[in-house]
Chain A
Amino acid sequence: DAGVTQSPTHLIKTRGQHVTLRCSPISGHKSVSWYQQVLGQGPQFIFQYYEKEERGRGNFPDRFSARQFPNYSSELNVNALLLGDSALYLCASSPRTGPWWGYTFGSGTRLTVV
């Protein structure tokens, strides 16, 4: 059974550019959450989507946006990239809303902004 798939695994972008990160949840999971993990820190919550609706938003600027598709896959978009956006972006899927029901994390997308 496939786990949570994130693409790409690594990418390098220039300041001011736009980036799209993708996540495919475990089959049957309807909730996707996004976290940002800066080197040396714990992950920070960005968004949660459940049944294609936003169910939670963390303390991130409007440059960050996301959406969930009918097949429950998700995209995280970041506009006007800053050096400080360099981080590991983690996607977590769960069968229902909330981490209690069992988050499964992907391996992440390592974003480097230069």
Chain B
Amino acid sequence: AQSVTQLGSHVSVSEGALVLLRCNYSSSVPPYLFWYVQYPNQGLQLLLKYTSAATLVKGINGFEAEFKKSETSFHLTKPSAHMSDAAEYFCAVSPEPSGSRLTFGEGTQLTVNP
């Protein structure tokens, strides 16, 4: 079964610093990968998804992720953190485009310090 592992349940950065949230996947076939963000008391919002067309994927709010097959990773980055980026971030995998489900990681809580 496909799965994702998010390294670090809590990440703390200063405002303006680089954000790096780690995600590794376990899949025997090329996966379809996603990053979602969840703000307090809200549902999840899609940040970006891996299409296999390009290894570097750009998403909303200045976030991007790089697919590295050799490392089975799909880490999320943002060059400069903003206070509004404080939220919980989830990496997720789907076995195929028409698959019925997403399998989520445990999540990483991002704190941005002034």
Contact = CB atoms under 8 A, between A and B. Distances in A.
Interface residues of B, number: 24
Interface residues of A, number: 27
Contact of B43 (A58, A99, A105): A105
B15 interface: no
Interface in B85-114: 90, 92, 94, 96-107
Contacts of B106: 41-42
B84 interface: no
B103 to A, nearest CB: 7
The SS class assigned to the B binding surface is loop
Interface in A37-62: 40-45, 48, 55-56, 58
Contacts of A48: 100-101
B103 A98 contact: no
Given A100-B94, A105-B44, A108-B43, A42 B105 contact: yes
B45 to A, nearest CB: 7
Interface of B: 32, 34, 41-46, 49, 90, 92, 94, 96-107
